[in-house]
Amino acid sequence: MRPERPGGAPPGTAPLSHPEPLDAFARTGAALGSRYRLERIAASSAERVLFEAYDETLKRRVSLRINFYLEPEARAWFLREAEALGQLDHPAIRHVYDAGVVGDLAFRVGNWIDGEGLLSAVERGPRPLPTVLALARDLLGGLEHAHLHGIIVRRVAPATVLVTSAGRGTVTDLRYCSYVLPAIPAGAAPSDQSFMAPEVRGGGVGDPTGDVYTAGALLYYVVTGQEPPLDPARARRPSELRPTTPRAIERLILRAMQPVPEERYLTAAEMLEDLAADAGTFETRAISVGGGSSGPDEDRPRWEQRLRRALGDDYELLALLGIGGFGRVYRVRDLHLERQVALKVLQPSLTQDPEVVERFRREAQLAARLSHPNIVNIYDIAGRSGLIWYTMELIDGPSLAQLVEREGPAPVDRVVRLLREALSALAHAHGSGLVHRDIKPENMLIAPDGSLQITDFGLALALRGKFGGATSQSGTPQFASPEQLLGERVDQRSDLYSLAAVAYYALLGKAPFPGLTVEQVLAKQTTNQFPTSRGVREDVSDALERVLDRALSADVEARYPSAAEFLQAVNRTTDNSGLEPVADWARAAARWLRGSPLD
């Protein structure tokens, strides 16, 4: 604490109860001399003025708060608060560089914070959810730091917090903290008592559970945009006021605001640890490689806890949608845009190689350029802590595999629609130079309106697994083309082969080339042992089977050369006058018998 300077303003100078800007500048400049260049008044009240100033000696911007003398009790209170701030050194609590008394004014110098008051920010509307999480970490970290130094903050109100454009929060006011309590003038009651724990509103010192309450009340305010009621029992659940509130945040707030102190978190550190367990600890996004691995037998709770921590302030994990050869798909909430999306997190074992990560990024960029009503949109690619994921449009419906498993073989008209929409999508992708390589029922999603949505474009090529990119949970791809299984060159006709196999699966309710091993599948494929609906269902026309069989030819050159020609052939099957001709009786017999190599 700096002692009173000689030569300052005389003690008898009249108090400045309502400072005029010019008077405030003049009296502060006269008292402090040339050390600080006063830039502007950032805030003012009856007895205090906050200047943005420049320290001419240390060449940095500072905050300069001036207390114009009203009475000794008010000055002592101001200086005692400066002492309290001086006890602490945490980025979420304003620093004090210097303090003292000069004539009839007291001052304190602290760090300058580029930001706005939380009160002003929330007046524009509830805060974005990622910034809520960042503010919660800052606030709880600062409170725990104060507790370790024996200080109970007691009140953190919106008017006493500054937030930066990145959402970082700083507590600027400790005038009602436990350290200052003995110096508070009689009759000085704190405002914003809804942000104080009930047990300290009457002047009690309180303990860390009281600060847990004030943290919960402040988070309630920034999430909902509404001040919490004085009686915490009357507080509505945040999700009632803002349906997109993450469950982790709501649970945190409701526990922190319990009326009985023993039912709250006992410390700010416990509350922060609970937040980190559900919402993670990361606030910035960057693709990373390595940093941990996860075996295929890692249990789901451990996997999801790791993923929650990695997703940090970007996404809230909601539900597991499926597990595939490349990773897991989750329903998540994008906390920036406050909408639900699908998130596919890749198996860490697939992304340990930086070249694979770079290739995956390039393929994701290509896939993201696709714009077609039957292709799932890719939104973003990101990663942390050894995990890499991408987000995509959420299709609120089953995959074709789930649909067939649940309902059995699909009606012919539905399969024809599936073929048309899939071929339209593939024509668009192939025209953009992108081959899917892993067309299978699990990658074909059915939207609520019945339309088809194809997912995972480019992923197979990027990760370059076995079988030319085709995958299967069983380890033996049932819908891959022969050239994929043999490790040969793959082009768009491989996608057409896989689509025809998927169509037969939808018609028959089983894989067209069943087998426990790759060799067994290849044996059927390479001898054109086509599946047949004969004896199983009579509503599948010979014309449709002939179209599918051509696409399933083991000879790549015998297949349709493009998705467009395959689509034209499918369309002709619904026109009796346009059926594909049968060349001769032997070919017709071969199609009847199935298993003939003629095709």
Name the residues annotated as catalytic.
438
Distance CA 388, CA 23 (A): 59
Helix (H) or strand (E) holding 111: strand 105-111
Q: For 346, list phi and psi in degrees, rounded to 5.
A: -80, 150
With a CB cutoff of 8 Å and minimum separation 6, the contacts of 109 are 36, 53, 55, 62, 63, 64, 96, 97, 98, 99
Helix, strand, coil % (nearest 5) of the chain? 40, 15, 45
Opening angle at CA 303, ends 298 and 304, nearest 5: 150
CB 348 within 8 A of CB 292: yes
How many Cα atoms sit within 13 Å of 267 on the Cβ side?
12
Distance CA 151, CA 128 (A): 30
Q: Which residues pair with 60 in a beta bridge?
A: 55
Opening angle at CA 543, ends 541 and 545, nearest 5: 75
Q: Which of the 8 DSSP states describes residue 127? A: P
Sign (positive/negative) of CA torsion 387, 388, 391, 396? negative
487: left (phi over 0), alpha (psi -120 to 50) or beta: left
- Token output for 14: 């009249």
The one-letter code for the residue type at 187 is G
Locate tokens 């024509």: which residue?
A: 427
